[in-house]
Structures are given as structure tokens and as C-alpha cells.
């Protein structure tokens, strides 16, 4: 494992080392976690390409689209839980979390303002009527200008809850039980508040408060199982068994959690389906990707995936450009045929090209404005 300056690490489930600094100020990165983040951020790019194609009612898009969304966001929340540690001062910890979570939300939204303004300006109109309603959503914690960053808002609320709850829950078994209760309770809260919010005219997604309870469940589960996962990480054979078993369960069950053929798990929209089926499939899919990441790190030590993983938060924010503008335009004007093969090739090529286009920008942001992209302790 490579020693790095911990101040340069992004402190979220999409980029952080679970180790404290040593006396030299360096801490070892965990290779398999970086690999997993790399796979995870590619799944985000790939999944968002598929999502843009759903507007075309392509029948053969459902299976890969539903499969990815069945587990990839819960996996990130569980990975964030790997790194939880109790804090003495709640107020100071909340302030640090705001710098690492909410400041990037604002930055990546401002980054997209020129693109939101471009259309009206081309037609000789003021961009304000288009932008103003989107800005209003930020009062409610809804990052409409760059919706991809909803994850950071929800994670911020989730981690604030974790700072209060997890220190008083001792023992891995109780943490797992707490996580399961949170997922079930949170899913029920999402359903009930959506109905009541519609009646009284209040946005039930405000600050993702209810969804953050679901996220807290996965966060607690991740915190509880991390020591066990670390014990598995050095055994390639066990990691491959974890990958195969987890993926087999995921492939067998991800279609079952669908009240309608078009239903897809979507945490940003508080769509979970059956809470138990949702949680078990999400855990199985995550275990599968973790097992694959462990095997890759042991057998190949993939530098490419590790580099992707270390830049995953920046890539997440930059993906908003493609989510809002590039993917929908290409899906509308250059859609693939409604066959599984061409759909997967289209999504693969576009996701890879998107990542390559973002790569030099991640270098610039890390070098010059790290404080704005989730690294507040690093000098730019």
C-alpha cells in the first residue's frame, strides 16, 4: 500500500482512508477500497447514461438499469460508514462536515451555472427565469442545478445523525440491528411524509431528512462489518467467493423488488420498494463489488481503478455536466437500437469518454482549489 498525505484525502465514502495519520503525517491507503471507489464511480457514470435512455422507453434497458440502481448508492453509504469515529465536540464536527460535504455542493452547482445560462442567452433571453426556481431549492437542501450532488447533502445529514446515535450503540451486533431498523423505519417515513407533504404543500425531500435515516442504516451496517471485510481482504480466494455469491444473490433478486415493470430503486427519489428486499439485495451487490475489488487489488493492484477511486468525489461533482446536459442530448439525437448489446456498448463508451474528459479537470481542481472539492485542510 502506498503512503499518502491524509490531508489530501476526500473525507467521504467516495474517497478517504480509514486510518489515522502516523507520527510522520502519512497514512497507508487501503488499495481494495480505492479500487471499489473506482468501480463505484464508473457505475455512477454508466448508470446515469442508462437513466438518460429511459426517457426513450427502450425495453432492453430495464435489466442493467435496475441492476445497478439496486445497490450502487447503498454501497457508497456503507463505505462512508467504514470510516466513522466518535467525535468529542458535535458542533465542531458538524462544521467540518459542512466544509467537506456542503461546500462542494455549492461549488459544483456554481460550476454548472454557465451551462444552465447558455440556452436562454443563445436565444437572447435572460437566464434568470430558468435559474431562479432551481436556486430556490437550495434552501430546502435540494441541489437542483447539479442533482448528482444530492448524495453529499444526504450524507451530511446522515453523518450528523451518526455522530449522535452510533457512539451510544456498542457492539457490532447491535449496530447491525440498528442499521436494519433504520432502513425499515426510514423507508416508512419516506412513504408517509411523501403523502402528508403532498397534502400540505411541503416538499417531503427537504434536506433528505427521511432518506438520511435509510442512509444511516446502511452507514451503520458498513461501520459494523468493516473489520470483517478487512479480514477477508488479504485472501483472494475468499474475496472471489464473496464476489460470486454476492453477485449470484443480486442477479437472482434484483427484479423481485419491483411493484411495477418500470419501477427502479432510486434513493434520491425515496423509491425503495420492499424495504427488506431492497436492503438484502443492496447488501449482496455491495459485498460482490467489495469482493471483486479485494481480488483485483490482490492479484493486479490496479493503479487505474485506485486513481479513479481517489478522485471519486471530484468525478461525482463533474458528472453533473453529463447528467444534465451531455447524456440527455446524445440519448435524444443519437440513441442506440433497442437491443441489449448496443445499449451496453453505448453506455460503456459514453461513460468511459466522460471519465476521460473529466480527468484533466480533476487534476486542476485538486491542485488549485482543493478546499472547494471536499479537502478543506489541503492548501491549493
Query: What gap in Å lies between CA 16 and CA 33, rounded to an integer?
Result: 9
Task: Write down the pLDDT at residue 4.
Answer: 35
Burial of 206 (0-12, 13-18, 19+ CB in 10 A): middle
Residue 203: pLDDT band with limits 50, 70, 90:
low
In three-state secondary structure terms, 159 is helix
Task: Write down the pLDDT at residue 26.
Answer: 39
The 8-class DSSP code of residue 353 comes to H
Residue ranges of the domains in the chain?
3-373
Instruction: Tell me the per-residue pLDDT of 30-89, one tens digit each, with 9 for 90 and over.
Output: 999 999 999 999 999 999 999 999 999 899 999 999 999 999 999 999 999 999 998 878
Task: Write down the pLDDT at residue 88.
Answer: 74
Among 11-15, 70-74, 205-209, whose mean pLDDT is lowest?
A: 11-15
Q: Are 172 and 224 in contact (CB under 8 A)?
A: yes
Task: Write down the pLDDT at residue 20.
Answer: 37
What pTM did the predictor assign? 0.91
In DSSP terms, 27 is beta-bridged to 4
| Average pLDDT score, the chain | 90
Q: Are 157 and 143 in contact (CB under 8 A)?
A: no
Mean pLDDT of the 302-330 span: 96
Task: Write down the pLDDT at residue 238.
Answer: 96
Among 23-27, 164-168, 248-252, 373-377, whose mean pLDDT is lowest?
A: 23-27
Task: Write down the pLDDT at residue 197.
Answer: 57
Q: What is the 3-state secondary structure (H, E, C) of 55-90?
A: HHCCHHHHHHHHHHHCCHHHHHHHHHHHCCCCCCCH
Task: Write down the pLDDT at residue 27.
Answer: 47
Mean pLDDT of the 235-250 span: 97
The answer for 141, left when phi > 0, alpha when psi is -120 to 50, beta otherwise, is left
Residue 367: pLDDT band with limits 50, 70, 90:
very high
The answer for 122, left when phi > 0, alpha when psi is -120 to 50, beta otherwise, is alpha
Percent of the chain scoring above 90 in pLDDT: 80
Higher-pLDDT residue of 346, 92: 346
Instruction: Tell me the per-residue pLDDT of 130-166, one tens digit each, with 9 for 90 and over.
Output: 899 999 999 999 999 999 999 999 999 999 999 999 9
Query: How many residues are given for the chain?
Result: 380
Amino acid at each position: 500500500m502506498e503512503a499518502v498525505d491524509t490531508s489530501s484525502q476526500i473525507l467521504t465514502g467516495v474517497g478517504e482512508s480509514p486510518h489515522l495519520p502516523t507520527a510522520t503525517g502519512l497514512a497507508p491507503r487501503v488499495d481494495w477500497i480505492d479500487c471499489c471507489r473506482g468501480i463505484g464511480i464508473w457505475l455512477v457514470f454508466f448508470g446515469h447514461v442508462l437513466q438518460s435512455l429511459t426517457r426513450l422507453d427502450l425495453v432492453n434497458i430495464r435489466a442493467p438499469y435496475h441492476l445497478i440502481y439496486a445497490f450502487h448508492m447503498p454501497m457508497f453509504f456503507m463505505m462512508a460508514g467504514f470510516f466513522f469515529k466518535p467525535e468529542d465536540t458535535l458542533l465542531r464536527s458538524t462544521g467540518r462536515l459542512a466544509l467537506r460535504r456542503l461546500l462542494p455542493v455549492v461549488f459544483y452547482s456554481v460550476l454548472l451555472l454557465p451551462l444552465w445560462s447558455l440556452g436562454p442567452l443563445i436565444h437572447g433571453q435572460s437566464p434568470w427565469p430558468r435559474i431562479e426556481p432551481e436556486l430556490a431549492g437550495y434552501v430546502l437542501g435540494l441541489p437542483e442545478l447539479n442533482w448528482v450532488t444530492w448524495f453529499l447533502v444526504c450524507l451530511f445529514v446522515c453523518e450528523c445523525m451518526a455522530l449522535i446515535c452510533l457512539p451510544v450503540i456498542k457492539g457490532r451486533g447491535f449496530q447491525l440491528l440498528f442499521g436494519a431498523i433504520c432502513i425499515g423505519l426510514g423507508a416508512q417515513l419516506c412513504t408517509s411524509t411523501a403523502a402528508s407533504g403532498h397534502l400540505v404543500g411541503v416538499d417531503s425531500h427537504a434536506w433528505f431528512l427521511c432518506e438520511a435515516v435509510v442512509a444511516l442504516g446502511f452507514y451503520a451496517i458498513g461501520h459494523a462489518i468493516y473489520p470483517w471485510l478487512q479480514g477477508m481482504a488479504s485472501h483472494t480466494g475468499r474475496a472471489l467467493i464473496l464476489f460470486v455469491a454476492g453477485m449470484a444473490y443480486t442477479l437472482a433478486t434484483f427484479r423481485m423488488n419491483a411493484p411495477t415493470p418500470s419501477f427502479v430503486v432510486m434513493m434520491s427519489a425515496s423509491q425503495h420498494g420492499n424495504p427488506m428486499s431492497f436492503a438484502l439485495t443492496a447488501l449482496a451487490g455491495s459485498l460482490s463489488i467489495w469482493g471483486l475489488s479485494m481480488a483485483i487489488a490482490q492479484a493486479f493492484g490496479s493503479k487505474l481503478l485506485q486513481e479513479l477511486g481517489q478522485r471519486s468525489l471530484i468525478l461525482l461533482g463533474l458528472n453533473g455536466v453529463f447528467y444534465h446536459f451531455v447524456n440527455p442530448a446524445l440519448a435524444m439525437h443519437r440513441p442506440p437500437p433497442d437491443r441489449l448489446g448496443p445499449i451496453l456498448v453505448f453506455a460503456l463508451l459514453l461513460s468511459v469518454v466522460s471519465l476521460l474528459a473529466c480527468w484533466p479537470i480533476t487534476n486542476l481542481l485538486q491542485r488549485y482549489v482543493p478546499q472547494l472539492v471536499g479537502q478543506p485542510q489541503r492548501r491549493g
